[in-house]
Amino acid sequence: MLQTYNIQVKGLVQGVGFRPFIYKLALRYKLKGSVENRNDGVVIKVNNRTFKHSNNRIIEEFIQTIKEEAPLASNIVSVSYEITDQELFSDFRIIKSTNTSEEITEISPDIAVCDECLEDMQLQENRINYPFINCTNCGPRFTIIKDLPYDREKTTMHPFIMCEKCRKEYSDIMDRRFHAQPVACKNCGPQYELITKNNRIHDPETILQTTCKLLEEGKIIAMKGLGGFHMACDALNEESVKKLRKSKNRDGKPFAVMFADIEKLKEFTQLNSAEELSIKSWRRPIILLHEKKKLAHSVSVGFSTVGAMLPYMPFHYLLFEKLKLPAIVLTSGNISDEPILIDNDDAEKKLLGISNALLIYNRKIYNRTDDSVAFIINNTERLIRRSRAYAPSPVRMNMDVDGIMASGAELVNCFCVGKGNQAILSQHIGDLKNIETLDFYINTIEQFKKLFRVTPNLLVHDMHPDYLSSKHFQGLDGKKISVQHHHAHIASCMAEHHLDEKIIGVALDGVGFGDDNNIWGGEFFVCDLNEYKRITHFDYVPMPGGDMATKEPWRMAVAYLYKYYGREFLKNNFQFLKKRNPNDIEMLLMAIDKNINCPLTSSAGRLFDAVSALINLCTFSTFHAEAPMRLETIADKNIIDSYEFQLNSTIQLNKTFNKIIEDLSKNIHVSVISAKFHNTIINIIFAVASKIRDDYKINKIALSGGSFQNRYISEKVEKLLTQNNFQVYTQCTVPSNDGGIALGQLAIAAKRRSLKCV
């Protein structure tokens, strides 16, 4: 007999062309019924095709195909079905959602232009070379959404009235642009404009030609991207890249580079299949790759890697079609630490002066996103910066996080709101100490509350009372709790993997406020989501000058030397101290003696700083984590030797420093010393973890904290632990740096709420 099946698809299935996809699939399978958007996904009702037999083979095939052929940017979490009351359908149709509740599903992140649209850009008369082409499978989403439900009038496409042709496609269920909210063509959609010092160009062809000409001549162009402005120049022209560095007021931090296509990318970088998959994905992140052929020296001064990406906006494709360059620097359009600019007028004021031309378009960016950054370790993508094309996809939790909001940290901030069992992380916000960034933080929190319809009643922030995020949260209404920084790091990793049991937690990190008022950052815990026990940590050492020590790694080197050798070390004539004024050194020692602004720290980041300075590699940092990054980049991968260390109640490094100094005096190359030091850290992690496993009978280990973005360490330590039968958990979908910490804060708060501890 004829049966009616009720199929529920959950996950990210809205705004990604899901209903038209189901419609076409139903036609293919000759099924009659309906598809409808609901709060938590999509509901499909179909009649079985035949009266003759009641088996559900067709339905199961249909479901299988849904999973296999789902639109690229959709994310199906589950498909289930049941046989319901019989309904008879005469055709298959998309029915208008009857859902009026405040509940929503998900907001799609932005999607790189699809192949079909690129083809249309050459064939469709009203879209030839039209750079705002898109369809249900591609185009802007989060960056243009002001409110939900996701409809055109709730986006920044609202001012553009669809022309006849576009409307027809928009209304035609068989069309790829059916209900594609940003649908547009050259007759009705947004347009670019190129502003030079004395001219404003509107003709698309002239804009492209002029842009190419300027770039080829080595000029700098500020151009509006998907989630904010970029600044661009020829990536092989040293003069231009240098000039760009200067005008952006940026010292040593590497620039991202966009390559014309995959062939050019392969000419300049080495990439394995996992890296290729990531860089070509619809998210089009920046992937850190090994450089094969030199770009301009100033692109990534002294680093062997390059942050590479492929075109993702239609305009990028049009540009590279004409441009006679294989690659351009494409860095965020901002001045030093300010958030990336999104507004045309602001860009004209701030960027035109430091570039040769400004390329804008007349559609507003509503939600700011930076390019996301990732790298591949042991064949898995690890995020370093989670923003464009990743945010605001939720992280699914195995617990109720509803109504909780987590503040994140301070330097690399992302916050997080809980809705049901979804943790919705904000896009990368940045360093809150910058006043514009703090504004961005505060505004985005309000935007998220409105967009996702959450009224937080439990607020969780870092234990550090002076973090600007903690301070902001203290001023908000609602119950508040604070959590320890490194517990939150480990909890973030646990949350990603749905772990809620006692595990070994290794947090190697920059700095975070500890229970004993010292600055933690090299911590070994036994913990679950609720509580933690600090088993051991790197031995405390003073951080002379507090935050200053983070910017001036030579201070950390002196602190370690003074700790282990007293004034004796001064006789050693260390290279890294030769340029220091002896008075400065004396002042530092006196500050340590008198304990003036010398908080104690167990930070792994500061230890790396110390070694980086000690071998005279990086004594002053021009950007966050520069010293450890430079130390990593020089490490000789073929060295298997390491240094000694001691495990007492804490991890002691006297012997490590003895041997490093011995190697220095023997003129052993710094690349060897660096490798031996890295291997030492790996051995320490393994030794401590093994001891904890023996003592506590725990086999699961979570690794988190900024230091695990050290590829050398992560690659090797994960393998070593796995080979020795540890179950190793690391961060992939959220960064292991402070950008992922809000997820951990949220998980801890949810756990404590469930235990009625808050």
Contact 554/576 with Cβ under 8 angstroms? yes
Q: Are 134 and 60 in contact, with CB atoms under 8 Å apart?
A: no
Stretch that binds Zn ion, among 13-21, 186-194, 521-529, 633-641 (CB under 5 A): 186-194
**Which member of 188, 335, 352, 720 binds Zn ion (CB under 5 A)?**
188
Residue closer to Fe ion, measured from CB, 189 or 514: 514
Q: Is 287 helix (H, G, I), strand (E, B) or coil?
A: strand
Answer for which of 43, 166, 384, 689 binds Zn ion (CB under 5 A) is: 166
Note whether 587 binds Zn ion by CB under 5 A: no
- Does the footprint of Zn ion cover residue 114 (CB under 5 A)? yes
Whose CA is closest to 486, among 456, 459, 516, 457?
516
Termini Cα distance of the chain:
55
**192-196 and 199-201 beta bridge pairing:** antiparallel
Q: Is 74 exposed, middle or buried (0-12, 13-18, 19+ CB in 10 A)?
A: buried
Q: How far is the CB of 652 from Zn ion (least distance, A)?
A: 59
Least Å from the CB of residue 550 to Fe ion: 12
Q: Which of 22, 44, 66, 138 binds Zn ion (CB under 5 A)?
A: 138
Residue 296 near Zn ion by CB under 5 A: no
CB of 286 to Fe ion, least distance (A): 22
CB of 75 to Zn ion, least distance (A): 18
Of the candidates 748, 76, 109, which has an alpha carbon nearest to the alpha carbon of residue 428?
Answer: 109
Contact (Cβ atoms closer than 8 angstroms) between residue 538 and residue 651: yes
Contacts of 402 (CB under 8 A, 6+ apart): 418, 419, 420, 421, 454
Residues listed for the chain: 758
Query: What are the Cα distances from residue 242, in Å, to 218, 246, 250, 496, 630?
Result: 11, 6, 10, 40, 20
Amino acid, single-letter form, for residue 29? Y
Using CA atoms, how far apart are residues 43 and 57, in angstroms rounded to an integer?
19
The secondary element (H helix, E strand) that includes residue 124 is none
Minimum CB separation of residue 520 from Fe ion in Å reads 9
Q: 738 is in the binding site of which of Fe ion, Zn ion, none (Cβ under 5 to 8 A by kind)?
A: Fe ion
739-758 residues near Zn ion, rule: CB under 5 A: none
- The total of other beta-carbon atoms located within 10 Å of residue 565's CB is 16
Q: Which of 256, 282, 230 is nearest to 390 (CA)?
A: 282
Task: Name which of 142 and 513 has its Cβ closer to Fe ion.
Answer: 513
> Binding segment for Zn ion among 8-16, 109-117, 140-148, 568-576 (CB under 5 A)?
109-117
The site partner of 570 among Zn ion, Fe ion, none (C-beta below 5 to 8 Å per kind) is none
Q: Is 395 a binder of Zn ion (CB under 5 A)?
A: no
Picked from Fe ion, Zn ion, none, the partner binding residue 509 (CB below 5 to 8 A depending on kind) is Fe ion
- The CB-of-549 to Fe ion minimum distance in angstroms stands at 16
Measured from the CB of residue 472, what is the shortest distance to Fe ion in angstroms?
18
CB of 158 to Zn ion, least distance (A): 15
Interface residue with Zn ion, options 13, 70, 117, 549 (CB under 5 A)? 117
Tokens 């933080």 belong to which residue? 441
The nearest distance, CB 174 to Zn ion, in angstroms, is: 16
Assign 512 to helix, strand or coil. Answer: strand
Question: Which range in 111-119, 227-235, 318-326, 588-596 contacts Zn ion by CB under 5 A?
Answer: 111-119
Structure tokens at 747: 């998980």
Longest dimension (CA), the chain: 95
* Per CB under 5 A, 458 contacts Zn ion: no
Nearer to Fe ion, 673 or 746 (CB): 746
Q: Which two tokens stand for residue 694?
A: 């023996």
Residue 48's binding partner out of Zn ion, Fe ion, none, with CB under 5 to 8 Å set by partner kind: none
Q: Which does 114 bind (CB under 5 to 8 A by kind): Fe ion, Zn ion, none?
A: Zn ion
Nearer to Zn ion, 130 or 540 (CB): 130
| By the rule CB under 5 A, 72 interacts with Zn ion | no
Work out how close the CB of 433 gets to Fe ion at its nearest, in angstroms, rounded to a whole number: 15
Angle, helices 604-614 vs 553-565, to 10°: value is 90
Residue type present at position 346? D
Cβ partners under 8 Å of residue 93, min gap 6? 23, 34, 35
When CB distances to Fe ion are compared, the closest residue is 509
# of chain residues touching Zn ion (CB under 5 A): 10
Any contact of residue 135 with Zn ion (CB under 5 A)?
yes
User: In angstroms, what is the minimal distance from the CB of 740 to Fe ion?
Assistant: 9
Q: Which stretch binds Zn ion (CB under 5 A): 114-122, 275-283, 706-714, 742-750?
A: 114-122
Neighbours of 147 (CB within 10 A): 15
Binding site for Fe ion (CB under 5 A): 509, 738
Which residues of this chain interact with Zn ion, rule CB under 5 A?
114, 117, 135, 137-138, 163, 166, 185, 187-188
